[in-house]
Structure 1
């Protein structure tokens, strides 16, 4: 998963204290790396003892890899949930580089499974490969997550160790997936329960797994000793999914989400439904969004890939708002790897950044992406005003900010969005983004735009400017098509529309 991901029963925690494993690991010495260009990988080196618990039978080493060479490096990346570390029973001891390191139960079970299965490629595991006590390193490494998971030979989606009473159902599911007509034929009770159990694991609800699964080239879902190819599970889903399911509405029934037929009798259907688990909506949403993501990667020209293949920030917030994380800041940072070039340039990961400054950065990124979408769709001013306000309110709630100061923060974000559009170069370094956000909160919005209408009318001016840009964009597209010229990119057209 990603740089900071402690779990708890609560979705959010504003004051996150060090957990039991982090306290005990303070003296662990990590191999030195350049956190902007290098990562660490974990390698199983040799067997330490036959009578020890599975993960303790082996010793591990950390090795360094250059991010620029990841495409040519054979390694595995792990996608998983951390779990709790509140007491001694939640953590386990392993040996890395001849030093003791405490890890949490879910990860310990994974290492026990993977070492026994004979996988000897190095593995990227954030809880081990990142120095969790070094905030500077973590902030840099968050920005590398997309490259880490996109270049891995395989991403293992570890959903945990199943309960003993589910072993038979998972066996039945595995056998069913081996058949070619798995999506068309009738399923029995045990097979359905196995699928429902697999898709109901807490793993699917976490926010950090989204970019890990969407960016991965190859995925194997691992539940204890059961290994299932992602494509074998996802092909069962009735993609694209209905809007009601994507919005997590409970009235969407199991049968609407899958391709295989319903039971023939109502009584049989009720018996199935009574045995199904809750939470499978989250897995289905990830199947849906990965499918959309892969199609976009396939059909967008390579020359435009880096700039346009990602999600606009406002859409990423909307699509994944139901995913869970403990640190509210990760509601923004966990999405960075999925964003388009402009979104990534406007948001700088920093766990030391005040929440108000993060709000300004993130909201401005959302307003800019809304603005571009409105320009392309020629949205009217009133609709744009409503969408701007709704997005500001959504980010305010997601980040847990108080009602007091809401208007000032929204205006500062709006001014930053306009400031962004006034620049020829649309990418910022870390210091510029944080400085600009802080200045706006301290001095208040000035609406410093090259467009005089935006400066004159404030929020309404911003919306009128959007409409003006949209009309200009439409006219420019028409001119290029009429003249038989090659249609330029959206970024170039937007520059032309605003008179750059």
Structure 2
């Protein structure tokens, strides 16, 4: 039989057939992914996830994903957080629907662990989390449409959880102090002045910060306010659109109402008698805090809350907040896309969230409207357009230069993804661009 040519021919055909019909890992993985992210049929379709409880904090995170429609008014909570850097080798894995693994960045994973450890607060509601509920595999698939819905998603959420990150240097102390400030904010003026005299005197002796010196409490508050979360550009939209907000750092949290009242109390610290302290380090800390929270008004969380209180703002005002607050974005288009939904003067602008459009093209479409919006701000409340445009140029990753011969300003739009020095395709195009945007758009007082 072994010498029969027909035997070997039939055996080879059988082996080839088995090889073609073998289970394919790649095909199986693809089907699993498609099962996890089933196509969103309706314009208002989203995905929500339930965080499964666990008695062991070290157990892996497991989620159950369900479809939902915004038009049906589902009750859910949205997570606002900082993505952080991606690390495919060390990022932990979470399980979706008990079968499908998905890598989550470290900051998100830590947030889910802390939320799971507080079942009484969050167990009854599903969560919306952009990194999980939006299919991130294809940059230009469903993502642009889902990003356009984010304003509605955060606006309809029963609660927005602002995750600052894990507990850091006395962050629990800072939240205790802010809660105490909020309670003192309800008191009458004499007691309030007594509170200023004895900084952050606790209402109850059991509160932990009673044993800490005042300068340590102040520094803890400053560090909490300076966390990088507050300076992400998407946070502007997520906080502004929220109906109810809770700020969470590690296992501790504070409501937006208490946080706002605490900052208004701290703003009254202009009368801090820091000069009565002989210790130089105490005087310096009080002076720094006074500048930080009162005189300069540079507390970024306070700016978020004030912007939320004041209601609608123009695109120029939002962009000014981004420039002055040194807000950050990994994708530079997001400086524009994140502000569209919360701006009251950009509805007529034909600019859609589309990450396939080059940054230069997006900027060309938006800049006339930006200039018109910014110049509509009262002169006393803004810089000159020439000065502001330079800052916008740097924010968007372009390079600003001044012509050494004419002494006139010109934007040399450089692609941030190419080596420094790449300009427009031609000098004529650059000249036409400069004239069209800066001379023939709308008059503006410089």
Report the TM-score when normalising by structure 1.
Answer: 0.61
1:157 aligns with 2:162: yes
1:354 aligns with 2:358: yes
**Residue 50 of structure 2 contacts residue 64 of structure 2 at CA under 8 Å; is this kept in 1?**
yes
How far apart are the structure 2 equivalents of 1:171 and 1:443? 55
SS, match of residue 127 in structure 1: helix
How far apart are the structure 2 equivalents of 1:402 and 1:44? 45
How far apart are the structure 1 equivalents of 2:401 and 2:298? 37
Which of residues 393, 397, 417 is equivalent to 1:396? 393
1:267 aligns with 2:293: no
For the aligned residues, what is the CA RMSD?
A: 4.2
1:290 aligns with 2:305: yes
- 1:231-254 CA-to-partner distances (Å, cap 9, x unmatched) read 212223249xxxxxxxxxxxxxxx
Q: How does 1:325-340 map to 2 (within 5 A)?
A: 325-340=329-344
**Residue 205 of structure 1 contacts residue 283 of structure 1 at CA under 8 Å; is this kept in 2?**
no
Alignment-derived partner of residue 234 in structure 1? 260
Distance 1:315 1:46, change over 3 A: closer
How far apart are the structure 1 equivalents of 2:410 and 2:218? 48
**Residue 183 of structure 1 contacts residue 260 of structure 1 at CA under 8 Å; is this kept in 2?**
no
Query: Deviation of residue 367 (structure 1)?
Result: 2.5
Distance 1:202 1:408, change over 3 A: closer
Query: Deviation of residue 293 (structure 1)?
Result: 3.8
How far apart are the structure 2 equivalents of 1:32 and 1:197? 43
Q: How does 1:239-388 map to 2 (within 5 A)?
A: 257=267, 259=269, 262-263=272-273, 265-267=276-278, 270-271=281-282, 273-274=284-285, 284-296=299-311, 309=312, 311-321=313-323, 322-343=326-347, 345-370=349-374, 373=376, 387-388=384-385
Query: Deviation of residue 347 (structure 1)?
Result: 2.3
**Residue 343 of structure 1 contacts residue 365 of structure 1 at CA under 8 Å; is this kept in 2?**
no
**Residue 92 of structure 2 contacts residue 103 of structure 2 at CA under 8 Å; is this kept in 1?**
yes
Which of residues 244, 250, 253 is equivalent to 1:218? 244
Distance 1:409 1:350, change over 3 A: farther
Which of residues 124, 128, 144 is equivalent to 2:132? 128
Alignment-derived partner of residue 45 in structure 2? 38
SS, match of residue 355 in structure 2: coil
Alignment-derived partner of residue 21 in structure 1? none
How far apart are the structure 1 equivalents of 2:51 and 2:438? 58
Distance 1:134 1:348, change over 3 A: same
Computing the radius of gyration from Cα coordinates, the structure with the larger value is 2
Distance 1:260 1:223, change over 3 A: farther
Report the TM-score when normalising by structure 2.
Answer: 0.68
**Residue 400 of structure 2 contacts residue 411 of structure 2 at CA under 8 Å; is this kept in 1?**
no
Structure 1 unmatched ranges of 5 or more: 1-23, 240-254, 297-308, 413-437, 448-453, 468-500
1:65 aligns with 2:72: no
Moved more, 225-234 or 132-141: 132-141
Query: Deviation of residue 368 (structure 1)?
Result: 3.2
- 1:30-84 CA-to-partner distances (Å, cap 9, x unmatched) read 132147422111112465xx55615x2x531111221333xx3211011111122
Q: How does 1:32-111 map to 2 (within 5 A)?
A: 32-34=39-41, 36-45=43-52, 47=54, 50-51=55-56, 53-54=58-59, 56=60, 59-69=62-72, 72-86=73-87, 88-89=89-90, 91-97=91-97, 98-111=99-112
Alignment-derived partner of residue 208 in structure 1? 234
Query: Deviation of residue 175 (structure 1)?
Result: 5.1
